[in-house]
Amino acid sequence: MGQCVGFRTGLLLDEARSNWAGEGPRPLRWAAWYPAERDSATMEITIPPGRALYSLGLLAPKAPLSAGTDRYPVVLISHGTGGSASGLGWLASSLAEQGYVVLGVDHHGNTGVEAYRPEGFLCWWERARDLTVLLDRLSEDGAFAGRLDLTDVSAAGFSLGGYTALAMAGAITETDRMLAFVKEHPFSDGPQEMRNLAAQIEPLLSSSAVFRASWESQSHSYRNERIRAVVAIAPAPPVRSFTEESLRDVRLPITLLCGEADTEAPYDLCSVWLDEHLPNSSLTSLGTDVGHYTLLPVGTETAMRANSQYWADAPGVVRAAVHAKAAELTLAALRASAAS
């Protein structure tokens, strides 16, 4: 039998930051996949419950962390625009089966588990802070307290989550660079979930103190010194907001994975551009016909009927096989980093 994978979810509140409405602390809804005791009871978990769009597979909810190792290496994962941590369950389970504790956050205002907010779609740097706070809190309290190896922490993300992982490695944001990129490449004026985002910046700066405070902190460093390696999967256009100088200063090993048929995060404009500016990066194509949404979970028939553009792939592309390849490459990158 393979490693039993445990699954936990929870909610933390970051009192140091406001939610976008200015009514209370920033919510950090989180999910964790981890090596569980082998005799733990498992069940299939579907998302969302009752109207399954995809399955997380057989997991052991709230099972005890395996006693087989004193401390476990950690991977922090970040979802794409409008998604959720569970959308990277295919990667998280694969890594947990190999002995990693995988922690993800549903990024406030930019996640499908709550109402979308333009602030969450514009202030990408807050995502890196989400994961740093989550790691701090879960390493000190709860089921993982004292069991996380903080000398072996990596970050992985899909789409805008790729931006997040790179920000945690020390890449610095200047949104003017992204605005210039949008003018040159109009396809990138915003994700499908919320177009023409640039038009909302000035009204929000005038009306929202919470947004204004975040916007003014965009070019701070959100580097987490504990991060040893980064895997960015189909990194999204906001990576073009990173300063070239800050990318040159990122000395961590960076693994870039992207399909060459990606129209949301074009291979050449995002992944190739990053590879040209990062000093210690490697870029691997996931396939000439692999698109952006192939990196979403394998959808159910319900999902296909609801919105096929997210769940259907090009002829000949087998989504589960692409996931397996991406997970294998991610695992290899993490192991190489730990061995160095």
Q: How confident is the model at residue 79 (pLDDT cuts 50, 70, 90)?
A: very high
pLDDT of residue 339: 84
pLDDT of 215 reads 98
Task: Work out the average pLDDT over 68-78.
Answer: 96
Q: What DSSP line would sit under 39-80, residue for residue?
A: T---EEEEESTTS-SEEEEEEEETPPBPTT-SSEEEEEEE--
User: With the C-alpha atoms ordered 114, 140, 35, 154, is the resulting torsion angle positive or negative?
Assistant: positive
d(CA 266, CA 234): 8
- CA–CA distance from 178 to each of 38, 85, 190 (Å)? 48, 25, 11
User: Could you identify the residue written with the tokens 């210039």?
Assistant: 180
Q: How crowded is residue 209: how many other Cβ atoms within 10 Å of its Cβ?
A: 10
Token pair recorded at residue 323 = 């996931």
What average pLDDT score do residues 222-231 get?
98
Residue 192 is predicted with a pLDDT of: 72
Neighbours of 301 (CB within 10 A): 9
Q: Which pLDDT score is estimated for 194?
A: 73
Region of residue 218 (phi > 0: left; psi between -120 and 50: alpha; otherwise: beta): alpha
pLDDT tens per residue across span 230-243 = 999 999 999 999 99
Task: Give the pTM.
Answer: 0.96
The H-assigned helical ranges of 150-208 are 160-168, 175-184, 201-207
Local structure of residue 36 (DSSP, 8 states): B
Q: What gap in Å lies between CA 239 and CA 163, rounded to an integer?
A: 5
pLDDT of residue 190: 64
Residue 299 has pLDDT above 60, yes or no: yes
The class of domain 5-339 in CATH terms is alpha beta
Note the pLDDT tens digit of each residue in 155-200.
999 999 999 999 999 999 999 999 999 889 876 656 777 777 888 9
CA distances for 323 relative to 77, 84, 183, 293, 300, angstroms:
15, 17, 33, 11, 16
pLDDT in tens, 250-298: 999 999 999 999 999 999 999 999 999 999 999 999 999 999 999 999 9
Residue 88 to residue 331: CA distance in whole angstroms? 14
Q: What is the DSSP letter of 21?
A: T
